[in-house]
Structure 1
Amino acid sequence: MEFARPRVAAVGLDQERVDAIEPLCGTLHNVASWADYVERFSPFETDIAVMSAPHVARFPRAIHVLALAPRWLETHWHHPDTRGVTGKIALRSENSTEHQLWVPETCPEFYRELADDLVKSLWSDSDAPETIEATRDWEADPEHLVETTIRRPVALRYQRTHAGQGEGQPIITLALPFVDNLGAWFRSFLQDLHEISPGRVPTPPPRLLQPSDWYTPDQLRVARKIADIDSKIERMRRNRERLKDEMRVEAERAEAGVVRALWSDGDDLVEAVEELLAGIGFQVRNMDKEKSPSDANREDLRLTVPGDDTWEAIVEVKGYPNDTKSSDARQLREYRDLYREENERFPDLTLWITNPHRRRDPSTRPSPNPALDEVARVAETVHIRTVDLFPIWRDVAEDRMESMDAIRLIQSARPGTWISPAIGDEHRSQNDSTADGG
C-alpha cells in the first residue's frame, strides 16, 4: 500500500494543532507520546515528527522534528563521523525576564516573515516569553529565528547530519513556542525540507493553506465536478458495504440451503438435491418422509412433471469423499425392480445423483470416471453429478432457461453418465479425439 509523503507523526498535539497541519501532510498519525507511536508505527516509515509535551525520542533513522514549546525534548541520532556513537540534542523551554525580542540577520529566509510576526505577537504579551535552551553538539550552533537581548533563542532551527544507514543525511529540528499560526510555520518548514531533503518532501507545499478560498471561476467549476464525483464515490462505497453485508447473509443462507448439494452427504445432501430439483420445476416426493417403519427401503426421491400424470422418475442421492462407487449401481437396480413390482412397469427415468469428491473445491473436481458410464448404462440409470445439476437450477432461477426446457433436458437423458450441456461439446470432442487415437 502506498502512503503519501510526507509521512508525519503528530505527537502530543491537541486537535486544533493537528487540524492546522493535516492539510499539508501526506499521511498523518496522531498519538499521545513517542512511545505510543513506535508501538503502532515504524520510524522507518516516518519523515517528520511534530512534537509537544515532554519526550525522549530515539530515532534509528533521519526524522525531521518540529518541536512546540518543548518542556524537555531529547532526540538521539547516529553521529556522522564516529561509528557507533549516538549524538543527542536536548531542547528545554525556560522562564525569562527579557521582554525585548528581535529577528537576527542569521534567520533563514524561509522563516523571516513568520519570525517578524512572532516578535510582534510576543511583544503584545505582558509576560516575558520563554526561551529555549539547546545542547551544543559536534556540528554548527543552532540558528536563532527569534532571540532576546542577550541572544537567548525563543525560536530556533538546528541542522545536523544523521549517518544511521549509508551516507549522512541532513536533518532539521525546528523549535518554536506555541504559535497561533502553526499551519503557516509548518508550510515554511516543509519548504525548507523540500530543498534539503526532497526524498522526504518530494513536492513543495501549496502556497495557500486554504486554496479553495481563492479559486478562480474555472477552478470552482472543476472543484464542483470533483466534489460531485467524490459524493457519488462515497454513495457507491456505502452501497458496496451494504451489498457486502447482504452477500454475507446470502452466503450463510446458501450454505444452509442448496449449496449443501456441493459439500454434503446423507440427509443434508438429499434435502439439497430435493431443493434443486424442485427449483428446476419438478414435483418432488421425499420417499423417506413417507416411509413407515414396516416399509421396505426405497429410493430417496420421486419426480413428476406438473400437468403430466403419466411420467415418473426415481432418484437415489449419494455423496462420496472420493470417486463415485460403481457398486452402488446395484442398489439402483433393486429400487427399479421394486418400483416395477408396485407399479407393474419400470420408472420412466432412474437418476443416480451423486456428490463425489465432496471435500474438494467444486471447480477443481475431476471428470467422472469413464468406467461409470458403462456401469450406469447396464443399470439403466442416468448418472448426474450435483456440480452439473447446480448450474441448470441456477439458470432456471435466474430466468436464463425456461423451467420446461430444463425438465425436458433431464427427461431426455439416456442411461449412462450425463454431461452438462455447458461442457458437453468439449467432452464429446475429447472422446472423439480419444477414439481416433489422438
Structure 2
Amino acid sequence: MAIYDEDPRPRVLITGVSDDASEFVKVVEQYSGVVHVVGAHEYSIRWESWDAVVSVGSPNRSEEHLFILQLGGAPVGRWDCGYPNSPAGRFREIGMWSSYGKELKTNDELDASLRALVKSDLLPLIRQRSDTRRVIHAPDFDLESSYFIPVVSDLDGRADAAIYRPDQGPREVIYLPDTVTDIRPWLLYAFERWADIDPDTFPAAPEWTDNPEWMTADEIDARETWVADCDAAEKARLEAERIERESQSALRELREKADCAERILLTATADPLVQAVAAALTRLGFVVEDMDAKGGEKLEDLRVRDGDWIALCEVKGYTKGGSVTDLGKINRFVERYARDTGQWPDARWYVVNQFRERDPSSRMQLLRGQDADVEGFAESDGLAIDTRSIFLLDKDVASGVKTSDEARRLLRESTGRFAYGL
C-alpha cells in the first residue's frame, strides 16, 4: 500500500506551551522532521500520524506508540494495580507525592552522557527549589515490558526526573521537572535514545557530530575529560556532604550525651541534680560522699572533701529562685555534724539550679536582693553556688583553661556567692 504526503520523521507535537514560546518551538523544529504546536482548544488531531510529543505539563493524550518528553505536570501513563474488579478500575494514574527533604541522589547506572547532563543541567535546577517539591511516587509496574528508571530522586526513592514505560500509556516517557528551560540538550538526548529503540521513527541522532563515531580524537579526549570532571566534581560534592553529615551526627551524639550528663546541672532537680553535682565535683578532684545513699535520718545531700578539708553541701533545683530558708536548713545540718563529730566543717555549701526551665543565659543572680542573708551565710564560711558556675568551671578544667587544683582552691577559698563565669 502506497502512502502519499507523509511528513518526514520524527513528527513532533508540542503541547502546553504559551504564545510567547517561539524560541522553545524553534529548538524543537531544528531537530525534527515536522512540528505542530497543539492549541489549547484543538482536539481534531490524528495522533497516529505523530511520533513524539514535547509537552510542558501533562499532555492531553497518551497513545501507545508515542514517545513523550514531558516537563512537569502529572506524569502521563497508568500502572496495573492488579485488581480488575476494583471500583476504581484495574489501571491507576501514576501518582505524585510531596518530598520534604532537601537531599538528592542520582542513578549510577545511567549512561555516561545522561549522567553528565544530569550533573551539569538538572541537579543545579532542582537544588535551587524549596525543600518541599512534587515528585513521582515510583509505580510498581506489573507488565514485563514496563520499566521505571529514576534519574534524580529523594532518599525515599521518589523521582524528580525519570524515564519510564508505563503499563498503560505511551511507549516511553522522559519526565523532567518544569524548572528545565533549556530544552535543547534534553531533546538531543531523547532523540538519540529513541533512535536506539525505534530507528525507523528516529532515523539518526539529530546532532550527529555528538556521535563519538564521527568525532575527532581531540573531541573524544575532551568529552572523556568533561565526563570525568563531572564525575569527580560529583564525588567531591558527595564526599563533602558525607563529612558534613558525619560532623553533624557527631555533634548531635555529643549533645545528647551532654544532655544526660554535664547539662543536667542546668536542667534537673532532686536526685538527678544531686548526682550531677557530685559527678562534677568528683571530676574537679574532690572526694564526694552521697549522704542520702546511706539512708536513715535526713542529712545534707553531699559531703565534699579535699584532703582534711570538708564542706557540707545541700543541693536544690527550682523553677523559681533559690530560697534563704534553705540556708537555715544547712545550718542545722552543720550543728548536727558538730554534735556527732566534735568538729565544725570547713565550709557549708548551698548549691542551686534555679530558674531551671529558662535559658541559663537569662537567669537572675542567685539569692538576688538577699545580700544581708548571703553576707550572714558567708560569715559562717557559707558559699551559695549557682550550678551554672559549676558547669562553667568544670568545662574550663576539661578544656585546660584551669587546672583541677586551681578550681578546687577557688571553691575552698570562696564565701558568699560563687558566680564563676557569670
TM range (shorter): 0.5 to 0.7
> Residues of 2 paired with 1:297 and 1:109: CA distance?
91
Segment of structure 1 superposing worse, 264-273 or 224-233: 224-233
1:157–1:173: 8 Å Cα contact kept in structure 2? no
| C-alpha distance 98-172 of structure 1, shift in aligned 2 (>3 A) | farther
Alignment check: 8 A CA contact 1:156 1:174 kept: no
Going from structure 1 to structure 2, the CA distance change for 1:226 and 1:288 (only over 3 Å counts) comes to same
Whether the 8 Å contact between 2:350 and 2:384 is mirrored in structure 1 is yes
Specify the alignment match of 2:242 in structure 1. 238
Structure 2: which 5+ residue stretches go unaligned? Answer: 13-24, 71-116, 118-177, 193-209
Pairwise CA RMSD: 4.7
Match of residue 341 from structure 1: 339
Contact 2:299 2:333 in 1 (8 A): yes
The 1:289–1:269 alpha-carbon spacing in structure 2 relative to 1, beyond 3 Å, is same
- Residue in 2 aligned with 1:287? 291
Distance 1:216 1:377 in 2: 86
Q: Secondary structure at the match of 2:241?
A: helix
Q: Show the counterpart of 1:409.
A: 410
Asked whether the equivalents of residues 52 and 68 of structure 2 are also in contact (C-alpha less than 8 Å), the reply is no
- The DSSP-based 3-state class of the residue aligned with 1:350 is strand
- Report the Cα offset of residue 269 of structure 1: 1.2
Pick aligned residue for 1:274 from 267, 278, 285: 278
Q: Distance between the aligned counterparts of 1:339 and 1:386, measured in 2?
A: 24
For structure 1, which segment, 257-266 or 377-386, has the greater mean C-alpha deviation from structure 2 after superposition? 257-266
Cross-structure match for 1:206: 185
Shift of 1:274: 0.7
Cα distance, 1:229–1:303 mapped onto 2, change above 3 Å: farther
Amino acid across the alignment from 1:316: E
Aligned to 1:260: 264
CA deviations on 1:42-69 (whole Å, 9 max, x unpaired) are: xxxxxxxxxxxxxxxxxxxxxxxxxxxx
Q: State how far apart, in whole Å, the 2-side matches of 1:329 and 1:205 are.
A: 81
Which residue in 2 is equivalent to 1:362? 360
Distance 2:211 2:407 in 1: 62
- Larger-Rg structure: 1
One-letter identity of the residue aligned with 1:299: E
Report deviation, 1:255.
3.3
Aligned equivalents of 1:157, 1:266: Cα separation in 2: 72
Aligned-pair CA distance for 1:329: 0.7
- Measured in 1, the distance between the counterparts of 2:220 and 2:299 equals 83
Q: 1:326 aligns with which of 300, 324, 327?
A: 324
Residues 295-317 of structure 1, C-alpha deviations (whole Å, 9 max, x = no match)? x4321111122xx3x21222110
Contact 1:324 1:356 in 2 (8 A): yes
CA–CA separation in structure 1 for the residues paired with 2:34 and 2:43 = 26
Distance 2:211 2:261 in 1: 55
Normalised by the length of structure 1, the TM-score is 0.50
- Structure 1 residues 286 and 100, CA gap change in structure 2 (3 angstroms): farther
- 1:155, 1:175 within 8 Å by CA — same for their partners in 2? no
Distance 1:206 1:401, change over 3 A: farther
User: 1:224 Cα deviation (Å)?
Assistant: 4.7
**Contact 1:321/1:357 (CA < 8 Å) preserved in 2?**
yes
The aligned residue for residue 418 of structure 1 is 418
Q: Secondary structure at the match of 1:206?
A: helix
Task: Indicate the SS of the match to 2:263.
Answer: helix
1:270: how far off? Answer: 0.7
Q: What is the CA distance between 1:357 and its match in structure 2?
A: 1.1
Structure 1, unaligned runs of 5 or more: 1-96, 119-134, 163-170, 188-198, 424-438
CA contact under 8 A between 2:320 and 2:355: conserved in structure 1?
yes
Instruction: Give, in whole Å, the separation in 2 of the partners of 1:159 and 1:240.
Output: 39
Cα distance in 2 for partners of 1:115, 1:203 equals 17
Separation in 2 of the partners of 1:240 and 1:274?
Answer: 36
Provide the rounded CA distance (Å) in 2 between the counterparts of 1:212 and 1:278: 74
Deviations 1:195-236 (CA, angstroms, capped at 9, x unpaired):
xxxx96544533864989786766766765554443233234
Q: How does 1:114-193 map to 2 (within 5 A)?
A: 115-116=32-33, 153-155=49-51, 178=65
Name 1:102's counterpart in structure 2.
6
Residue 349 of structure 1 aligns with an amino acid whose one-letter code is A
Tell me, what secondary structure is at the counterpart of 1:353?
strand
